[in-house]
Structure 1
């Protein structure tokens, strides 16, 4: 099939920043795109060939959207899989496959998949409703502390809470959930695996993630991770096993814990470009967004090596600020060598909302980390 400057049409469900960055690559190669999102102000709107307003969870909207595209992909997991399955049955290429999406959409199903396939993960208990947890604690079935996770619709720190006392359960939604044993870890790591339709597979270097303690969001992504070669190899092997067992096509971002004894546990996965791969736009020979396009179209996979060390800093809305966004001190960080800001195009900010990111590249990872700290302390995402 001819993709470039042709009638071929790629459909993307989701019009946020990940979709916007995918569109950088489709525009580079002159691939026609059609995007659907529920927001009339979606960042993707200005860069795609065709924009459709619609709910990603609505069967009819997703089904109708996908009927006239040649390949359909996602930039967010929360989509109507029943509609995708029907499209798949009718011959539309849906990538990642709906089977993979069904497993990943529900955190309880995802965790059971790991245990069923011999993939190391933290011990957990599954509950139909959050209200069942208190009885389990009282009867000795569950020990404090643990991490509560909503089975569905959690992202960017939402739907996750550390429960240290029974009182911490107050206010949590009464939904299907899991209670996961707390992991004593040295580092939180991630590996992005790319797999194309021909079965060709490659991985990006292991990255290290530093999280905001309150928002449970990634603040820094550091590539390469500051770990031993043996640990990096073990992390890569586990990530490859997850991708293989899930039969993923496209990108699979595998988030991992490095335990105190250098074991590797899978936390969770995302079947799409991921925050942990944003550094690759400036630091890698082939960035993650181009790689996803290559993979789902069955093109040869690109070189995943880094040209230089890279660190990503997330730009999130400052606490106490809601409304029209203002980026303070942008000129200051633009004076710094190796610093590249990416603004996602969201006009309204709120506390901890992802509004952009900044990549810092340097031959020296230690120096890059110091610059990243300076960037984090300098730029502010506030409101008018």
Structure 2
């Protein structure tokens, strides 16, 4: 891959792809990106950018013809085209079979059960009628099998009164967990079987929109919890056989059990802080993993937090950032803007990494950033 003829294909041109491109520049890797949005975050910085659907067979197949390795920044892509490309000698990481499991939350949950991986109780449902037959299972989260992301496709059902909110498509009921913390571990695995994990992080989710609002790294948990979470992440990656990055989101219950919530086979919101806080970022690690390179040192050189920069409620239009001067005046505060022209309520417009050796000072900086830095129109 360290030649002028090598080309890495990237399905997806969003903010994850943008940060992957920034890591690829350091290794002088030529990346060709595909996205349906001509104004996607990758559009202006990708060495090659193709406008087209990563869900369309012909588009993906043609896109991959001149790429040696093909990877993703979004899992909802055309798998049949990827399988065809692989049969013709292209390397595709993560593998289509892994994406097939993860694309459908129903299949994903069954995979945990079949492989003795700890997860919450669940019931597969095909209709609202199925859900109405299992009212004694509530409260539970109703999750769409396919198509949900960033909180979309998830609905809490507390009782029979909430049935009108239930999904009519194939979905699942996942038992609501009385958890103490939501934690995550990102694990990388290359095709030689080398595995490395990033330290466990603690995620705080938005109470309404079910997406990460901010996180702290490392998580405030015992060393034994750190180790158990790490081992669960490694076992999940090994049983999937994934080549690439895997973000494993977990619940830590109030009685000290760790249960897998969901996984993502790519770079992830729970690893953004690693660009500034760790010796190797998750984006560089993903490149190392899919290109068969030795995995990098994942240890942290500082405590860190990450605050998602979301579009303010009530504002839609051309994005304006207020409070940037105040944020940049604080030592250890690093904004990352995604290059999205238009803001709308709770759209991910960027993130801010905060680093500090002192936990109290770190939390104080996070509160200032959350208070001062806003995206309006």
Band of TM-score, shorter chain: over 0.9
- Once residues 62 and 127 of structure 2 are traced to their aligned partners in structure 1, the CA distance between those partners, rounded to angstroms, is 34
Residue of structure 1 equivalent to 2:375? 381
Distance 2:235 2:361 in 1: 34
Scaled by the length of structure 1, what TM-score is found?
A: 0.96
TM-score, length of structure 2 as denominator length: 0.98
Distance 2:145 2:360 in 1: 38
Tell me which residue corresponds to 1:25: 23
The residue that corresponds to 1:194 in the other structure is: 188
- After TM superposition, give the deviation of residue 340 of structure 1 in Å: 0.3
Taking the aligned partners of 1:65 and 1:166, their CA distance within structure 2 comes to 48
Aligned to 2:227: 233
286, 295, 303: which is aligned to 1:292? 286
Structure 1 position 160 matched with structure 2 position 154:
yes
Match of 1:83 in 2: 81
* Equivalent residue runs for 1:266-281 within 5 Å: 266-281=260-275
The correspondence of residues 1-384 of structure 1 with structure 2, limited to 5 A, is: 3-137=1-135, 142-383=136-377
Give the distance between the partners of 1:169 and 1:63, measured in 2 at CA. Answer: 42
Secondary structure of 1:67's aligned partner: helix
- 1:223–1:309 Cα contact (<8 Å) kept: yes
| Kept in 2: contact 1:130–1:177 (CA 8 A) | no
Q: Secondary structure at the match of 1:121?
A: coil
Q: Report the 3-state secondary structure (helix = DSSP H, G, I; strand = E; otherwise coil) of the residue aligned with 2:193.
A: coil
Preserved contact between residue 146 and residue 179 of structure 1 (Cα < 8 Å): yes
Residue by residue over 1:290-340, the C-alpha shift from the partner in whole angstroms, topping out at 9 and shown as x without a partner, is 000011111111100001011000001111111111111111100001000
Cα deviation, residue 170, structure 1: 2.0
CA distance in 1 between partners of 2:353 and 2:245 (Å): 21
- 1:45 alignment partner, SS class: coil
Aligned-partner Cα distance in 2 for 1:181–1:41 = 40
Mapped contact 2:280–2:298 kept (Cα < 8 A): yes
Query: Runs of 4+ in structure 1 displaced over 6 angstroms?
Result: none
Q: Hey, what's the Cα distance between the residues in 1 that align with 2:316 and 2:128?
A: 30
> 2:109 is paired with a residue of what secondary structure?
helix
Quote the offset at 1:171 in angstroms.
4.5
CA distance in 2, matches of 1:63, 1:111: 30
Judged with a 3 Å threshold, the aligned counterparts in structure 2 of structure 1 residues 131 and 40 are, in CA distance, closer, same or farther, namely: farther
Task: Mark the CA change 1:322 to 1:173 in structure 2 (over 3 Å): closer, same or farther.
Answer: farther
For 1:167 and 1:203, how far apart are their aligned partners in 2? Answer: 43
For 1:86 and 1:167, the matched residues in 2 are separated by 47
CA distance in 1, matches of 2:184, 2:129: 32
Q: Quote the Cα distance in structure 2 between the aligned partners of 1:195 and 1:135.
A: 42
Q: Is the 8 A contact 1:278 1:288 kept in 2?
A: yes
Inter-partner Cα distance in structure 2 for 1:136 and 1:225: 35
Question: 1:221 deviation in Å?
Answer: 1.3
Q: How many residues align?
A: 377
Structure 2: tracts of 5 or more residues without a match? none
How far apart, CA to CA, are the structure 1 residues paired with 2:363 and 2:220? 11
Query: For 1:37-82, what per-residue CA distance to the aligned partner results, in whole angstroms no more than 9, with x for missing partners?
Result: 0101011011111111111111111111112110000000110111
1:173 Cα deviation after fit: 4.1
Question: Alpha-carbon deviation of 1:161?
Answer: 1.3
